[in-house]
Each structure stands twice: as structure tokens, then as C-alpha cells.
């Protein structure tokens, strides 16, 4: 791991106190999507931290091993330009999308549009109240897509929480017209089985296809019964989005997917997908599907075809997200160990769990295979009150190199190089100290993406951050300008 200069000397060698057995229990008893805290609630408390553990953390702060509460530290090649605190929407911040001079930030209470024409001084353009976790967000032309994965009384933006056991409850995809950024208009909705935890856009001429990922069915849920072994595909006519409809539900796991425990202890049972990333220029998609990783062809976007499928029943607990390199010969999969609710960046968990898995794509056509090469995980151990795990990131476009920026919740933001897929190394970082020392809290960057010369981060608790990266290895990326970026719809950065 490359040594980095920081704004203060830190060793980050705190010992872990969360027992592995307890962590696995947290994962295996994860609640269904319908049990997600109602939007607007404070982050769920994940457990207390003992007085001795608090004392250890305070000693580590005093000794410079970890930053103090809310203290910002970073490598010398990153500059923190600004933070925009949350405004009217006080829920958890989630994912990001970009278009021209605008950034769109999902929030459990709705979404926010920022004008980022001056990255040092983002300006709030609109705040749209529309509760429905997670409010995963994407944009395409004049359309904005918003996922709802909590059971609601109806499909309106004034709905209330309602049990998934009620047949009348609604979950799914909402569509807005954003031709007027100051006044987005809610224009359509499509209900999907088990809701929409995340979604991925596949633009194709007159239509935009939406791959909806959802999971955790239950026999008591009228609209989300098992088996739930595929994804919902919505077809949205660009000129008539009100006619959006489901056109297919392809079965991705004919054998039912990874069985999870007890056959594979500590691994999630596959009951759908968590997230899908597409590379339209190569007609490829990679699926992170709970207990499985997928590579599939999207030449026919209504009928994706599985090319290869992999599992890691030793170190991966929950396949969370995927990112292609620009050459389409590698995929980075993330493992959300602990479901985003546990302190997993510590010595006890180690460097191979709650990490990224780097896979090479070898072979040609439908004979291509995913071949595991290595793991990558930040080596800055966090306090036992800090939820930390691999989360959303994007490619930094530099020809000849595979570079990525990635969010790690309270582990902060990491910039790393996986050009040699067997020897990944971190080259820059940014993070804040613990939110508190007396309980385990969910906070920190949900997503961190590179867009037109800057890194933008959606911090779950703190709002919207803008960073500037100054490094000879990443500087060439500043010459790449995009008109639009949804990180899960990866562009061909150099075909322009």
C-alpha cells in the first residue's frame, strides 16, 4: 500500500471489539426492504459502545491514530473545496447523478438539485419532498428516475408508511420531468415486485430501459412473494414517459441462486439483485446480487443473457455493487459486509472481508469468464462506533490506467489504482472522524463519483461535499468532459 502524507500523522491501528459472530448475526437477520426505517427518521442506532471502547477511541484520538469527532483529514493530493449541509430534507443522503452543470442527490425524504457550475460554491436549485427510501436516483435527458423501496400507502409524494402485508401498499419507480430544474414535475409511476432498491438506466434511442433491482421477498407480502430470482425491466418511451410499463422479468437464477446459510455460513441468500452496472458501449452488464456476481450481455436490453456467474463463499457476505474498467476487461465488485450497519474496517475483520473484489474478464463473446485476482480494502482502521464498508464509486477516466474513487461510509473516500489487478493500491483519501463515540452510527459518504474534474460526495449525515484531486496520475482525467453521468450507466469516456 502506497504511503500517503496526511494533514496529521495517524497509525489507524485500533483493535476491533465487535465479535465476528455478532457481525454475522447482524447480516443474517437483516430486515426486508419493507422494514426500512421510514424516510425522515434518524439513522438507526446499531448498538452501544462500551465505556472501555470509548476510552480506547479517545486515547487513539489524543495519540493521533484516528481523527477527532467530525475532524477532517486527507492526503496531501486532495483538497476539500466545500460542504453544503442538508437543507429542508433531513433524511439520509443517498446516491448521486449528474447532468451538465447540475448534480442530483437522492435523500430518504426526496431529492435535491444543485447548480455546480462553480464547484467551490454549489447552489441549491430545488428541494423536492417525496419520501420513499432509498430514493436511488438517475437522470436521462429531461427525465429523472427515483426508486422507492419502502412500503407506502400509495404512489404519491404525500404517501405514508404502510405495511408490505397490505395488498394496497405501493413500491416501485417514480418518474419526474426535470426540463424546469427549479420545478420538477412528478409525471409517472410503475409498481415493481419487491419495490425498487436501486435501478440502472439503459438508454436506447426512443426508449430508456430501467433495470430494477430488489430483493427480500416474503410469503406474507402480496406483491413480493418468493421466488424473486430476477429483475424488473421497465420500458420508458422518451416522448411519452406516462406510458412506462414493465416489459419483462428475466429469471437470472434458474437454480435459485446462492442458498446462503447454513450451506454457506455468513453469506446472503440470493433473492434478487442489489445493483447492476451497465456498459452500453460494450453491451455488457455486471450484477451484484446478494450472494452472486454476474456478467451478462445486454445486446437485447429487454432480454439480458447471462454470460458468467461467480460466488465467493469465503470472504463476500453481500454482493453490493459493480464497476467496469474502461477497457471492459475487469470488474470491481463490492461487499457490503454487515449491510451498511456495522464497523467492519478494523483489524479483527481484516483486509479481505467487507472489501472490493477485483475480477478480470477473460475470453471472448459468450465464453467470457470472471476470474478473481485480488481484494482491495482501505487500511485506515476506524473507531468501533464508525460504520465502514465498501460502497459506491466510479472510474476516473485516464487512458492506460484503471483508477477509481470510492465511498466507504465513515471510512471516507478512497482513490485507488487497480491497473495491476493483482496489486491494487490507494493513492489518495479523504475522511471525517467519528460522528460520536458512544454508539455505532450510520454516516459518511454513501457515494463518491468523479465528474468533470472534481470528486462529488453524498454524505449520509453531513450533506454534499466537493473535492479537488491534484495528482499527476489522475490529472489527465480533467480533459474528459461529460454531458451526463449516472455511475451505474458507465459511459465510454474516450468515444467523443
- Distance separating alpha carbons of residues 161 and 170, to the nearest angstrom: 10
Average confidence (pLDDT) over 374-388: 95
pLDDT at 92 over 60: yes
- Residue whose cell numbers read 460502497: 391
For residue 419, report the phi and psi dihedrals to the nearest 5 degrees.
Answer: -55, -45
Grid coordinates representing 45? 442506532
pLDDT at 32 over 60: no
Average confidence (pLDDT) over 22-31: 27
Quick one: pLDDT at residue 46? 52
pLDDT at 38 over 90: no
* Residue that wins the pLDDT comparison between 494 and 195: 195
- Distance separating alpha carbons of residues 193 and 171, to the nearest angstrom: 8
pLDDT at 7 over 80: no
Q: Establish how many alpha carbons lie within 13 A of residue 26's alpha carbon, considering only the half-sphere containing its beta carbon.
A: 22
Q: What is the dihedral of CA 337, 343, 346, 352, to 10 degrees?
A: 0
- Residue whose cell numbers read 485507488: 416
pLDDT at 71 over 70: yes
- Distance separating alpha carbons of residues 296 and 229, to the nearest angstrom: 15
Is residue 217 within 8 A of residue 249, CB to CB? The reply is no
**Please, what is the average pLDDT of the chain?**
90
Average confidence (pLDDT) over 189-196: 98
pLDDT in tens, 193-210: 999 999 999 999 999 999
* Residue that wins the pLDDT comparison between 463 and 65: 463
Average confidence (pLDDT) over 156-173: 97
Average confidence (pLDDT) over 436-463: 96
pLDDT in tens, 203-251: 999 999 999 999 999 999 999 999 999 999 999 999 999 999 999 999 9
Quick one: pLDDT at residue 52? 76
Quick one: pLDDT at residue 241? 98
Label residue 160 by pLDDT band (50, 70, 90): very high
Quick one: pLDDT at residue 450? 98
Quick one: pLDDT at residue 423? 98
Is residue 362 within 8 A of residue 369, CB to CB? The reply is yes
Percent of the chain whose predicted confidence (pLDDT) is above 90: 84
Is residue 190 within 8 A of residue 196, CB to CB? The reply is no
The Cα-based distances of 446 to 80, 259, 332, 334, 407 in angstroms read 17, 28, 17, 13, 6
Average confidence (pLDDT) over 456-485: 98
* Residues 161-188 as b or e (16 or more Cβ within 10 Å = b): bbebeeeebbbbbbbbbbeebeebebeb
Those residues whose C-beta lies under 8 Å from the C-beta of residue 102, and which sit 6 or more positions away, are 113, 114, 115, 116, 125, 181
- What residues does each domain of the chain span? 20-485
Q: What is the dihedral of CA 251, 254, 258, 261, to 10 degrees?
A: 110
pLDDT in tens, 122-147: 999 999 999 999 999 999 999 999 99
Is residue 442 within 8 A of residue 409, CB to CB? The reply is yes
* Lowest pLDDT segment from 48-62, 184-198, 357-371: 48-62
Those residues whose C-beta lies under 8 Å from the C-beta of residue 496, and which sit 6 or more positions away, are none
Those residues whose C-beta lies under 8 Å from the C-beta of residue 473, and which sit 6 or more positions away, are 398, 401, 403, 417, 427
Q: Is the pTM of this model over 0.85?
A: yes
* Lowest pLDDT segment from 21-25, 315-319, 406-410, 486-490: 21-25
- Distance separating alpha carbons of residues 397 and 283, to the nearest angstrom: 19
Rg (alpha carbons) of the chain, rounded to whole number: 21
Is residue 65 within 8 A of residue 12, CB to CB? The reply is yes
Those residues whose C-beta lies under 8 Å from the C-beta of residue 158, and which sit 6 or more positions away, are none
- Return the CATH architecture of domain 20-485: 7 Propeller (2.130)
Average confidence (pLDDT) over 27-54: 44
pLDDT at 22 over 60: no
Quick one: pLDDT at residue 496? 60
- Distance separating alpha carbons of residues 43 and 27, to the nearest angstrom: 17
* Residues 353-375 as b or e (16 or more Cβ within 10 Å = b): bbbbbbbebeeeeeebebeebbb
Amino acid at each position: 500500500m502506497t504511503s500517503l502524507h496526511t494533514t496529521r500523522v495517524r497509525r489507524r491501528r485500533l483493535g476491533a471489539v465487535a465479535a465476528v459472530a455478532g457481525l454475522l448475526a447482524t447480516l443474517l437477520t437483516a430486515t426486508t426492504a419493507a422494514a426500512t426505517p421510514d424516510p425522515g427518521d434518524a439513522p438507526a442506532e446499531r448498538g452501544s459502545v462500551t465505556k472501555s471502547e470509548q476510552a480506547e477511541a479517545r486515547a487513539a484520538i489524543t495519540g493521533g491514530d484516528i481523527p477527532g469527532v467530525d475532524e477532517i483529514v486527507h492526503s496531501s493530493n486532495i483538497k476539500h473545496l466545500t460542504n453544503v449541509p442538508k437543507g429542508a430534507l433531513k433524511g439520509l443522503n443517498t446516491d448521486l447523478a449528474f447532468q451538465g452543470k447540475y448534480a442530483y442527490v437522492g435523500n430518504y425524504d426526496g431529492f435535491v438539485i444543485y447548480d455546480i457550475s462553480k464547484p467551490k460554491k454549489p447552489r441549491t436549485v430545488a428541494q423536492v419532498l417525496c419520501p420513499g427510501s432509498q430514493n436511488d436516483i438517475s437522470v436521462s435527458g429531461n427525465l429523472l428516475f427515483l426508486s422507492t423501496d419502502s412500503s407506502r400507502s400509495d404512489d404519491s409524494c404525500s404517501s405514508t408508511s404502510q405495511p408490505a402485508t397490505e395488498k394496497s401498499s405501493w413500491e416501485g419507480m417514480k418518474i419526474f420531468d426535470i426540463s424546469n430544474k427549479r420545478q420538477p414535475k412528478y409525471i409517472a409511476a410503475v409498481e415493481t415486485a419487491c419495490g425498487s432498491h436501486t435501478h440502472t438506466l439503459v438508454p436506447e434511442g426512443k426508449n430508456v430501459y430501467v433495470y430494477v433491482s430488489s430483493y427480500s421477498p416474503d410469503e406474507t407480502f402480496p406483491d413480493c412473494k418468493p421466488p424473486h430470482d430476477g429483475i424488473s425491466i421497465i420500458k420508458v418511451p422518451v416522448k411519452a414517459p406516462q406510458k412506462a410499463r414493465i416489459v419483462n422479468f428475466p429469471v437470472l437464477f434458474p437454480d435459485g441462486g446462492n442458498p446462503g446459510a447454513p450451506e454457506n455460513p455468513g453469506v446472503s441468500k440470493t433473492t434478487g439483485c442489489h445493483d447492476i452496472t451497465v456498459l452500453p458501449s460494450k453491451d455488457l452488464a455486471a450484477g451484484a446480487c446478494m450472494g452472486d456476481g454476474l456478467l451478462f450481455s445486454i445486446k437485447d436490453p429487454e432480454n439480458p443473457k447471462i454470460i458468467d456467474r461467480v460466488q465467493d463463499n469465503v470472504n463476500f457476505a453481500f454482493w453490493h455493487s459493480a464497476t467496469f474498467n474502461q477497457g471492459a476487461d475487469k470488474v470491481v465488485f463490492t461487499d457490503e459486509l454487515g449491510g451498511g450497519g456495522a464497523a467492519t474496517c478494523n483489524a479483527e475483520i481484516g483486509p479481505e472481508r467487507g472489501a472490493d473484489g477485483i475480477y478480470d474478464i477473460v475470453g471472448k463473446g459468450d465464453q467470457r469468464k470472471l476470474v478473481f485476482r485480488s481484494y482491495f480494502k482501505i487500511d485506515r482502521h476506524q473507531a468501533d462506533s464508525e460504520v465502514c464498508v465498501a460502497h459506491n464509486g466510479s472510474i476516473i477516466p485516464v487512458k492506460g490506467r484503471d483508477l477509481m474513487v470510492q465511498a466507504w461510509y465513515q471510512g471516507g473516500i478512497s482513490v485507488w489504482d487497480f491497473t495491476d489487478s493483482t496489486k491494487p493500491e490507494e493513492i489518495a483519501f479523504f475522511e471525517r472522524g467519528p460522528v460520536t463515540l458512544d454508539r455505532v452510527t450510520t454516516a459518511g459518504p454513501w457515494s463518491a463519483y468523479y465528474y468533470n474534474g472534481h470528486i462529488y460526495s453524498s454524505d449520509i449525515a453531513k450533506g454534499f461535499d466537493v473535492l479537488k484531486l491534484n495528482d499527476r496520475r489522475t490529472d489527465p482525467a480533467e480533459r474528459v468532459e461529460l454531458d451526463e453521468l449516472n455511475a451505474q450507466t458507465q459511459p465510454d469516456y474516450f468515444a467523443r
